[in-house]
Amino acid sequence: MYCSKKLSNSFEANSHYFAIIEQITEGNLWLNETCGVVPKNSWVIDLFGYSPTMAYLFRRMGFENMLIQRTHYELKKELALYRNLEFVWRQSWDAEETTDMFAHMMPFYSYDIPHTCGPEPAICFQFDFARTYGFTYERCPWGEYPQETTPENVKERALKLLDQYRKKSTLYRTNTLLIPLGDDFCYVTVDEAEAQFRNYQLLLDYINSDPDLIAEAKFGTLEDYFRTLREEADRVNYSRPNEIGSIEIGGFPSLSGDFFTYADRQQDYWSGYYVSRPFFKAVDRVLEQTLRGADMMMAFLLGHCQKPQCERLLTGFSYKLAAARRNLALFQRHDGVTGTAKDHVVNDYGVRMHIALQDLQIFMSKAVEVLLGIRHEKNEQNPSQFEAAQVRSKYDAQPVHKAMSAHEGTVQTVVIFNPLEQTRHEVVMVIVDRPEVTILDSNWTCVRSQISPEMQQHYSSKEDETLFSVDIVYTGKLRSPPLGLQTYYVANGFAGCEKATPAEVKWFVPSSNISCPKPYTCSRMEGEEAIISTRHQTLTFSMKDCYRELVIPMAAIMALLCL
C-alpha cells in the first residue's frame, strides 16, 4: 500500500504551503523513481487539526481520497450522530465542484487498535495481540489482556469482535467499514507481526464461514477500502433529502471549513503550538525563501551553463539542494514546526536547518558569479567573492548583518536577487563601516540614499554606555527586475555623486547620558506617542512603555481581500 508519500507528516496550521508542496513533491518523486508508484490516497492521522488548504493541495496533486483522525471530539459526535463522518471536503469558494476531496474521519479518541475496532476500548484492547504478554506493549488500563485465539474459543472471540464492528458501522452510511490494525512503532518484530496476523486470520475465517453472520471480513489496504466503498456508492444511493452532495462521489454530504482548534477531551485545546518556539518558526520561513531562491538560480544555471567547468557547480551542489529540501521537510513534521518536540530533537532540527542555510548561501554566491559572467570555472571547492548579507554563527543565534569595508577610494559590489515574477521597488539595507558613501546602479548612475545609525542591544547596567554602534546603515529604494539580478555599487570618494544623507535621529529614553553619534543630528522626542505610518497601516508607540498598537485602515483590508 502506498499513501501520500511525504518526507514528513506536514503540520497544517504552522507550515507554509510552499514547504508543504516542496516536501510532498520530493517524497513522491522518490517514490515514483524508486518504486514506480503514484499514490492517490492520503493517510494523515496524527496532526492536531486539519486545514482545507491541504485537501485542496492533495486534490490538485491528483489525490482522490484522504483519511483524518485528530478533530474536536464534540465535532466527531455531531458528525457521527448524522452519519457524516465520511464526506466530500470542498473549498468554501468553489461553486463548480472542482476541488472536492473525499474524506474519511476516524470516529474515536485515537488510531490504535483499542480505539479503532469499535466504541468500547476495553474490549478492543483484547484484540491487539501486540499487547500480549512478552511483547513491547503490555500495560492494560482495562485489566483484561488479549488471549490467543484457538479452535475452542474462536466463536466467542469472533462474535465479540464482530459486535464491535457492527456498533462502529452505525456511525457510517455504507456497508463498507474500515478497521485499522496498528499503532506507533508496531510490527517492529516478526513475532509481533505473526501474532497479529495469525490470530486475526482465525477470527476472519470464522466470520466468513458462518453465513448467518451476514458479514465478510478480510485484510486490505487503504486503497482497497476506498475502491470498495466507491463501488458500493455507485450501486447504492446513500444521499439524504435536501443534502448538498458532489458529482465526485454520490451519497455523501459536501462540507467546507477547517478542523481547528483540536481538542481530544474536556477543554484540552491544543493551541499552544501556534506560538511555541517562535525562533525556529522564523528560521523555517527564512530557509523556505532561501531554498526557493536557490532553486530558481539552479534552474537559471541549467539553461546557462555550457562549459564543463560550470557543470561542476551544478553536480557539486545538486545533492546539497536536495538535502536542504529534506531538512526543511523534516521540520514541517507535526512535532517540528509546532515546537512540541523535546529539546534535543529541536536542537537537531535547528542544526539541520542551519547547515541547509549555509549550503544554500554558498551555492547562491557562486551561482551569482556564473550568471553575471564574472567567473566560469566554478565548482564546490572554489571560494566565491560574494558573501550573504546576513549570516548566523550557529543554529540558535540571531542573524547578523555583515559590515562592508568602505575605505577611501574603494568600490564594493552589492547584488540583489529577485526570485519573484514582478519588479520590486523597496528599501534595501546594507551595513558599511564609514558614513562617506555614495550609491550607484549598474549603469554607474547615482542613486539617492540615506545613512542611519545601527542600533545595538547592550546587556549592561552601565548608564554611560552608548546605545549606538559606530556601524552605518545605508538605505535606498532600489529596483530589482523580476526573476533577475541587479547590481549596485557602494563607493567612497566617488566625486560625481552626492553622499548618502544622514538621517535625523530622535529618541525617547529616560537616560540623559546618550551621546549622539557622528555625523547625525539628535534630539529627544516630544509628546506621549511616536507614530510611523504608510498608506496601508499605522504603528503607534507609547513613550512610556514602548507599547505598540497596529492600525490597518478598512480600505487597506478591503484592498487585500480584493486581491
Strand pairing partners for 468?
A: 455
Nearest to 516 by CA among 555, 449, 452, 468: 468
Nearest to 473 by CA among 493, 489, 450: 450
DSSP string, 265-328: STT-EE-GGGTSSHHHHHHHHHHHHHHHHHHHHHHHHHHH--SHHHHHHHHHHHHHHHHHHHHH
> Please, are residues 487 and 480 in contact by the beta-carbon 8 Å criterion?
no
Tell me, yes or no, if 46 is annotated catalytic.
yes
Say how many C-beta atoms besides its own lie within 10 A of residue 481's C-beta.
12
DSSP conformational letter for 530: E
290-307 burial, b at 16+ Cβ within 10 Å, e below that, comes to bbbbbbbbbebbeeebee
Say how many C-beta atoms besides its own lie within 10 A of residue 312's C-beta.
17
User: Phi, psi at residue 268, to the nearest 5°?
Assistant: -85, 80
- Integer CA distances (angstroms), 337 to 9, 126, 488, in order: 11, 36, 37
Looking at 132-260, list the stretches that DSSP marks H as alpha helix, in order from N- to C-terminal side.
Answer: 154-169, 190-209, 222-235
Pairing mode, if any, of strands 450-455 and 468-480?
Answer: antiparallel
Return d(Cα 87, Cα 342) in angstroms, integer: 36
**Is 97 exposed, middle or buried, given 0-12, 13-18 or 19+ CB atoms closer than 10 A?**
middle
Return d(Cα 166, Cα 207) in angstroms, integer: 13
Say how many C-beta atoms besides its own lie within 10 A of residue 15's C-beta.
27
Nearest to 349 by CA among 314, 398, 395: 395
Sequence length of the chain is 563
> Please, are residues 443 and 497 in contact by the beta-carbon 8 Å criterion?
no
Return d(Cα 184, Cα 169) in angstroms, integer: 24
Name the catalytic one among 46, 258, 264, 396.
Answer: 46
Nearest to 169 by CA among 237, 240, 116: 116
Nearest to 325 by CA among 297, 376, 359, 275: 359
Looking at 87-148, list the stretches that DSSP marks H as alpha helix, in order from N- to C-terminal side.
Answer: 121-124
As annotated, the active-site residues are: 46
